[in-house]
A and B are shown apart, each in its own frame.
Chain A
Amino acid sequence: MKKNSPFIILVLLLVLSTFSTFSTFPTTPIIHEAAAQEDSEEVPYGPWVDEIRFEAEPDYSKLVSRMKAGEIDLYLIDIPDPELLAEIEADPNLKTKTAYGLFFELTFNPVGPVFKTGEFNPFSNPKIREAMNYIVDRKYIVDEIMKGWAKEKYVSFISAFPEYGRLADTIKLIESKYAYNFEKGKEIIFEELAKMGCEYKDGKWYYNGTLITLKMLIRTEDQRLQIGDYVSDQLELLGFETERMYKKSYEAAPLWISGDPADGQWHVYTGGWISTVISRDDSSDFGFFYTPLGIPFPLWQAYKPDPIFYEVATKLWTSDWKTWDERMELMRKAVVLALKDSARVWLVDQIVPFVSRSNIEVAVDLSGGFNNPIWARTIRIQNQTGGVIKAANRDVFTEPWNPVAGTNWVYDTVVMICLNDGDILYNPYTGLPMPNRFINVTMVVDDDVRTSAVSPWIDLTFTGSVLVPTDAWYAWNVTSKSIVTAPEGTYAKAKIVVNYGDVIGNVTYHDGSVMSLADWFALWPLTFERVDPASPLYDSSAVPSFDAWRKNFRGMRIISEEPLIVEYYINYTNSEAEFMASWAATWPNMPWHAVALGIYAEEQGELAFSSSKADAEGIEWMNYIGGPSLGVFSENLDEMINEGYIPFVEHAGDYITAEDAVARYQNLKNWYEAHGHFWVASGPFYLDSLDLVASSAVVKAFRNYTYKADRWAWLAEPPVPEMSITVPDVITPGIAATFNVTLTYLGEPYPNDRIDFVKYMVLDSQGAVVASGSAVAVAEGVWSISLTETVTAGMTAGAYTMITIALSKDVAMPAILEKPFAVIPEISYFSDLLDSTRNELEASISTVETTLTETIDELRGVISGLQTIAMASTGLAVVSLIIAVVSVIMARKKAV
């Protein structure tokens, strides 16, 4: 057995590629981790619930009715109908969680000033495009068209994603600068049109004596229909005629995507874009949306951005920057210049609601919703262990499932991610990778690579160069059927050493097979066989993605088997080292014998992993869960048992004996007899049964799963900081002022070490920045903003706004608070001060007067008392004297 040069098979990478596109984990447990801990005795292995039943319910009205009645617990896709959402919100038994990712914009035709037809195009002028930002009232769109289910949008970044948070201070200024101001926009547009030779007569604009008519390409499938009408109305208010062309996607595409914009078939298109994962790097947005770098299509090639903007966009497109600060500076510039260009005017970020019964606890990805494996690992009936969840979706099964090139439809993957497991998960609130099936990673990276890590599971160091050892697996020779090791002098950008822990012999697959080294390394040749025309597994559709992978992959070798430690050499780089680690690491989600079933069928020419090859060969696209493939698999399995089939036996024979193979195939056969399909994986649920025509499936808890149900409980809710701010009573120019910012979550102070930054900006009534900076932590959850005497000295009396932006390390969505306050003038301040002093003095004098009066009264009382005493004393004295005199007289009489 050759065990000293292991490698991970690409097929398993591919299995996991769908999986790993949507997941995440915490760098350090955050704010409510402790709260989520349960008595470990009570916590089951695998998921909290016993079973999830999936069914198709494409009708939203029926869905809501059924959810109210308790027939469905959660809906795995968003409900776009605002009226139904209002009904849901009014029902105490239902609740919503929100995500982001869909956004709308206006795409302008940049060609001109005249088209080939001779028609005028005002949007060839960037100043007019820029002014359109003032003409469009985004708040109106949010409130009236989107019914509150959207946020105003001025830049391409989604407001819940990291780039927005990082640049929030700059973007807030843009939002302030370009806020709705129809008159201002009109003034600019009128001025520019006049410069361009247009004439304004009787409330209408003319060019060369012809009325200017703007062709509005309006999409009809969603709220862009109303948006298109609204924008057209606004343009008509400016004096343009509009021709509203209502089109569906397929009707509009030939006009705006592939058509030549110079033909003048449209002026404005109501565009929409979607992101299904939290994007942490949107630096290519500027190149893609505003420059010819984007797509080699006529519209993109017609873009003529300002040279400075183009240079900045190109630098960001090609990652031509040395430090993170330099990148951020480029991003700041680009954000501002993009508004100046405004080839697209961004309108709204849609808030996407996901609905469940109120007693369901589940983590939902901030972008992908339920399209993140975290949902299946956190779902629970409140305060309950076990139970059945009834989940619905618009559809349940769409395309064939297979481990190499099967479906990537969300209707399939949302079920699949319950069954599969992967090396990493993506944090549903930050998009950062978290280790799921490995313990830690040691990275040695070339000095030239600009990367850093914030996660404690990565040990990152830099070195002069990374040489790939000559015993590392580099490729597979399809002709000689042998491993190719790395040629001498092969260098990589990074060495990634992944410690998977004691997995060999300790992890169980759904069919009862126990993980062995074969599951990791036996199918290594498959990747190379699929791209070599000499192989029966050759598939031309696999070549493009293989080419990209080949450039990034430089080699691998096994360092240890128990624990399993594998060393990867890669050229793939990312500014966040976590992504480099996740690129290299892998997990054999499906055992080798289940993948071998597909390999055998494709070798026989009966089925094909990819739809392209299936179409080309006129055979069936391989499906592990239904259709004609099952019959083929079932027959083949018997043949494989009889033959003791081992795929790529020249290599895999080192890991698999004929007896092992037969035992594994027998497990699979038993599985098929019990469940009617061949999907065997390693996730927290297994696929118990399915009905393709009825569009239903039942997945059950896999209690032999390695981890307990509370492993990800701390991710139940996005820990967005709740912010409040205390404004000083009086703020006066020239006198320092201190604002206190309080950050909390669930009523508790937000830990300072989980806060990335707290920034502030002070804007005057015109939206100009008066002051900006960072707040300083003064206590746990309490941050202080100090405006120095110098800063306040520059402020004049009037209304101001303090914008505070707090970004947590545990959620990409920043907390933003705008607090108005007033600055009073010095004279008022001193007048108030004098008044206050006078009042104080008057109060003191009054107090003294009162005291004196009281003292005098007291003295008078005392004197009066004394007088009485004196008079009494005098009386007594007189009486005494009289008595004495009488006594003397009487005494004398006796004596006489």
Chain B
Amino acid sequence: MAGSKKGFIKFVVKRVVTVYIIVMVAVYLTIIIANMGGYVDEIMKGQLMLQIRMQLKGNPEYSTLPPAELEKIAQGIYEEELKRRGLDQPFFIRSFVYMKDALTLDLGRALYMTSEGGSRLVKLIILERLPYTVMLFTTAMLINFTLHLVIGLYLSRRHGSKIDKLFIALAPTSIIPGWFYGIFLILIFAAYLRVLPYGGILDVPPPTDPIARTLNILEHMVLPLSSWIIAAFFLGCYGRRTFFLIFSTEDYVEAAKAKGVPSRRLTTQYILRPTLPPIITGFALSLIGSWSGAIITETVFNWPGLGLIAYQAIGAFDTPVILGFTVIYAYLLAATVVILDILYGLVDPRIKVMYGR
């Protein structure tokens, strides 16, 4: 027993260390990729100098100054801005500072972007959008998860029926992404019928009463939420149905059936129970995935989510913001993986056996 405990701790420590090293590598790779190995510095410096020159050229304040003084001022502004952006330090050094800050969750300040409230703090930039992302995409994920689970189970119990065939036939419709359905929904319900808004999260001006405001947000959620539910519906159900079907044809299920185990008990104890670990894994990963938003859906519905922020950060080479997303996501993913490993280890005898080795 003691050996098993020790082995378990060793297993956990090994997993934590391994996952942390992977996170470190991933974060550093993100830094290198987001900065094109330091090439972004050159891009930024060139654009900055041109921008400053054009500003000075167009500003009458400077038009009467002798060229040498103008040059001095341009250089002063340039250096000040380089310093502000941290470009006065070599990229190699900065890359390790970035990594240290990221790994210690000191998300720091964005280079260019600001939160809607005007803050440069990366945590505020992310936190400001997180509720709206969760509101839409996590809701969509939860609804999808539940629908797919229930209907998939239902279909697996009636495989070969007409409704089962219908779902199989319609499963390929999920190849079309959610945002594509979104465009059609907008055309029908916003442009043609004019019963739902085109996008955004609130009317202009937004209602001030909290209840009216909540209802208004829900109204704005209808179309984007529907687009995601429709897009994933048939394939999701078909996938779960197949998943359950495989488990429901296992020998032990057949044996239970033969023994005359009631259908309900058969479903809950013989089919659902053994499928729980992969379902939980899928659920956990989908949950984390939903927090990263969806760039195109957010664009189509003008929804202030995290996906768009991440996209803008990548386009602007705003390394701290990119890193902020990456490191949060990486930690969440790593923690989930470790926790799941531990859970599996606790519940799965096959893994338990491995501790002792």
Give A contacts to B, CB under 8 Å: 53-59, 62, 65-66, 69, 249-251, 253-254, 257-258, 275, 277, 279, 281, 284, 288, 293-297, 317-319, 390, 397-401, 540-541, 543-545, 547-549, 551-552, 571-574, 579, 583, 611-612, 614-616, 618, 620-621, 623, 625-629, 689, 691-696, 698
Contact = CB atoms under 8 A, between A and B. Distances in A.
A626 B300 contact: no
A293 B65 CA distance: 14
Contact of B57 (A257, A284, A400, A573): A284
Interface in B78-137: 80-81, 83-84, 109, 114-121, 124, 128-129, 132
B194 A693 contact: no
A257 B50 contact: yes
Interface centre among B43, B58, B80, B204 (most CB of A within 10 A): B204
Given A253-B47, A258-B46, A572-B61, A626 B117 contact: yes
Interface stretch (B69-77, B138-146, B150-158, B252-260): B69-77
Nearest to A616: B84
Contact of B117 (A548, A623, A694): A623
Interface of B: 39-40, 42-43, 45-47, 49-50, 53, 57-58, 60-67, 69, 71, 73, 76-77, 80-81, 83-84, 109, 114-121, 124, 128-129, 132, 186, 190-191, 194, 198-202, 204-206, 299-300, 302, 304, 317
B120 A621 contact: yes
Contacts of A626: 116-118
A718 B118 CA distance: 37
A296 B71 contact: yes
B206 A694 contact: yes
Given A59-B300, A277-B58, A544-B73, 16 more contacts: A62-B191, A69-B194, A251-B43, A319-B64, A400-B118, A541-B84, A545-B77, A548-B61, A551-B69, A571-B64, A573-B64, A623-B118, A623-B119, A627-B124, A693-B128, A694-B202
B118 A62 contact: no
A574 B116 contact: no
Nearest to B80: A541
Contact of A692 (B40, B47, B61, B117): B117
A65 B191 CA distance: 7
A257 B46 contact: yes
Given A62-B186, A544-B73, A56 B302 contact: yes
B67 A317 contact: yes
B17 to A, nearest CB: 33
Cβ-closest 4 pairs across A and B: A627-B117, A400-B118, A623-B118, A258-B46
A543 B49 CA distance: 18
A623 B109 CA distance: 16
Contacts, number: 180
A691 B49 contact: no
A294 B53 contact: yes
Contacts of A692: 116-117
A293 B132 CA distance: 51
Which of the listed residues B80, B81, B199 has the most CB atoms from chain A within 10 Å of its own CB? B80
Nearest to A281: B63
A158 to B, nearest CB: 13
19 contacts: A58-B302, A62-B199, A65-B191, A250-B40, A257-B46, A257-B47, A319-B63, A390-B204, A397-B116, A548-B65, A612-B80, A618-B109, A621-B114, A627-B118, A692-B116, A693-B304, A694-B201, A694-B202, A696-B204
A626 B118 CA distance: 7
B119 A628 contact: yes
B43 to A, nearest CB: 5
A206 B123 CA distance: 59
B95 to A, nearest CB: 19
Contacts of B206: 691, 694, 696
Contacts of B299: 58-59
Contacts of B43: 250-251, 253-254
A399 B50 contact: no
A618 B205 CA distance: 34
A544 B40 CA distance: 26
Contacts of B63: 281, 284, 319, 574
A254 B39 contact: yes
Contacts of A583: 60-61
B214 to A, nearest CB: 13
A615 B60 contact: no
A250 B44 CA distance: 8
A257 B80 contact: no
B84 A551 contact: no
Contacts of A275: 58
Given A250-B317, A295-B53, A548 B120 contact: no
Contacts of B201: 693-694
A621 B119 contact: yes
A400 B58 CA distance: 23
A62 B198 contact: yes
A808 B148 CA distance: 71
Given A55-B200, A693-B304, A398 B114 contact: yes
Given A65-B191, A628-B124, A615 B53 contact: no
Nearest to B78: A544
Contact of A544 (B57, B76, B115, B304): B76
Contacts of B73: 544-545, 547-548
A281 B304 CA distance: 42
A356 B329 CA distance: 44
Contacts of B67: 293, 317-318
B114 A399 contact: yes
A627 B119 contact: yes
Contacts of B60: 572, 574, 579, 583
B340 to A, nearest CB: 34
A694 B200 contact: yes
Contacts of B200: 55-56, 694-696
A398 to B, nearest CB: 7
A706 B132 CA distance: 43
A53 B205 contact: yes
B205 to A, nearest CB: 5
Given A257-B46, A288-B57, A611-B84, A628 B194 contact: no
A56 B66 CA distance: 43
A214 to B, nearest CB: 23
A693 B298 CA distance: 13
A688 to B, nearest CB: 8
Nearest to A250: B43
A295 B55 CA distance: 12
Contacts of A614: 120
Contact of B302 (A57, A254, A400): A57
Nearest to A280: B60
Contact of B62 (A548, A571, A627, A629): A548
A425 to B, nearest CB: 16
Contacts of A618: 109
Contacts of B66: 318
Contact of B205 (A284, A544, A625, A689): A689
Contacts of B190: 62
A267 to B, nearest CB: 19
A695 B204 CA distance: 9
Contacts of B114: 398-400, 621
A519 to B, nearest CB: 24
Contacts of A279: 58
B257 to A, nearest CB: 54
Contacts of B84: 541, 611-612, 615-616
B62 A698 contact: no
A297 B300 CA distance: 41
A696 B302 contact: no
Contacts of A629: 117-118
Contact of A53 (B76, B109, B204, B302): B204
B61 A545 contact: yes
B302 to A, nearest CB: 7
A595 to B, nearest CB: 17
A250 B191 CA distance: 37
Contacts of A574: 60, 63-64
